[in-house]
A = this chain, B = another copy of it.
Amino acid sequence: MLYLVGLGLHDEKDVTVRGMEAIKGSERVYLEAYTSILGVGKERLDAFYGKDIVVADRDMVEMDSDEILRDADKVDVAFLVVGDPFGATTHADLLLRADALSIPYTVIHNASVMNAVGALGLALYNYGQTVSIPFFTDSWRPDSWLERVRENMRLGLHTLCLLDIKVKEQSEENLARGRKIYEPPRYMSVPTAISQLLSLLEDSSPSASSDSSPSLASADSLDPSTTLAISASRVGAPSQRFVAGTLAELSELDEEAFGGPLHSFVIVGRRFHALERDFAGRWAVDRERWNEVSNTVYAVRD
């Protein structure tokens, strides 16, 4: 049996009891280590689960899945994924290959940021599509995610923005020369993400900074001074931190205000209610401003 086990959000104790039993009973245990990270290292997992876990990078999962699946029709093998096994990527490839080899599989679910973001207090029903914000490079400023945010905003929906993770990336030179030398991991912070967002907004609308009446702004204008957002750092960890404010307010904070990775944030849509305003208002940079924008621009009624 192949067990796909979600590890949840933070450390070795976020696995489910069912998941831990599957890990302890497995002959080999792999940890998928390229779409997210836990707040603790592999050693903590090894000690707690009593296993010597093999860290599987993208190359291994995509190119060497036969090794992962070896004998899994006879013995139990566990494949661990941070969050839920179907969160950042579906691993459908691996499961279809298991199927083709007549290897049965069982999925053991867990929390992922996709549902744990509910802790911000905004009803999960009112979220639209989730977007992933990639790092800008010198020559490439990807912006397709911004149109998806606007699509959500037009419907009054919130947008969960997940931020880029670069793990085991090679520099162009090392890639060209076939040298397996990797850059240090990079995790996008909320200030970086918002500054990229603001720079795209400036590109698309030279009058974005005009002082037109905020309450008349169209739903998808994303005016930084009247668009509310809530950041969520290290969701599910003891050091979890939420910060609420306008995009402009969040962009002015330095990285320390959010702490270490992983960061994500939510852009608040118009389907926003008084209880949600009050719940998230506890994390506001400036509560008065938070309430004012909520009540005027977002038309929240008590």
Does A262 sit within 8 A of B, measured CB to CB? no
Which of chain B's residues has its CB closest to A107's CB?
Answer: B119
A86 in contact with B99 given A16-B8, A129-B155 (CB within 8 Å): no
Interface residues of A in 269-302 (CB under 8 A from B): 275-276, 278-279, 282
From A89-97, A176-184, A216-224, give the one contacting chain B: A89-97
| C-alpha gap A118/B14 in the complex (Å) | 19
In the complex, how many angstroms separate the beta carbon of A62 from the nearest chain B beta carbon? 13
Which of chain B's residues has its CB closest to A158's CB?
Answer: B129
| C-alpha gap A13/B279 in the complex (Å) | 31
Does A163 sit within 8 A of B, measured CB to CB? no
The proximity string for A residues 249-277 relative to B, scoring 1 for CB distances below 8 Å and 0 otherwise, is 00000000000000000000000000110
> What band does the interface of chain A fall in when counting residues whose beta carbon is under 8 Å from B?
35 or more
In the complex, how many angstroms separate the beta carbon of A165 from the nearest chain B beta carbon? 15
In the complex, how many angstroms separate the beta carbon of A281 from the nearest chain B beta carbon? 10
Contacting residues, chain B, for A235 (C-beta < 8 A): 109
Contacting residues, chain B, for A15 (C-beta < 8 A): 16-17
| C-alpha gap A155/B129 in the complex (Å) | 10
A125 in contact with B132 given A8-B109, A17-B14, A96-B278 (CB within 8 Å): yes
Does A191 sit within 8 A of B, measured CB to CB? no
> Is the Cβ of A9 less than 8 Å from the Cβ of B109?
yes
Does A126 sit within 8 A of B, measured CB to CB? yes
Interface residues of A in 168-226 (CB under 8 A from B): none
In the complex, how many angstroms separate the beta carbon of A110 from the nearest chain B beta carbon? 5
> Is the Cβ of A116 less than 8 Å from the Cβ of B125?
no
Q: Which of B111, B118, B119, B132 contacts A111 (CB 8 A)?
A: B111
Which of chain B's residues has its CB closest to A276's CB?
Answer: B92
Which of chain B's residues has its CB closest to A4's CB?
Answer: B119
Pairs A-B, 8 closest by C-beta atoms: A86-B118, A109-B111, A115-B115, A13-B18, A13-B17, A92-B279, A109-B116, A114-B115
- Pairs across A and B, CB under 8 Å, 25 listed: A8-B16, A9-B109, A13-B21, A14-B16, A14-B18, A15-B17, A16-B16, A16-B110, A84-B111, A85-B118, A86-B115, A86-B119, A86-B121, A90-B121, A90-B122, A90-B279, A107-B236, A109-B116, A111-B111, A111-B115, A112-B115, A125-B132, A126-B129, A127-B129, A128-B128
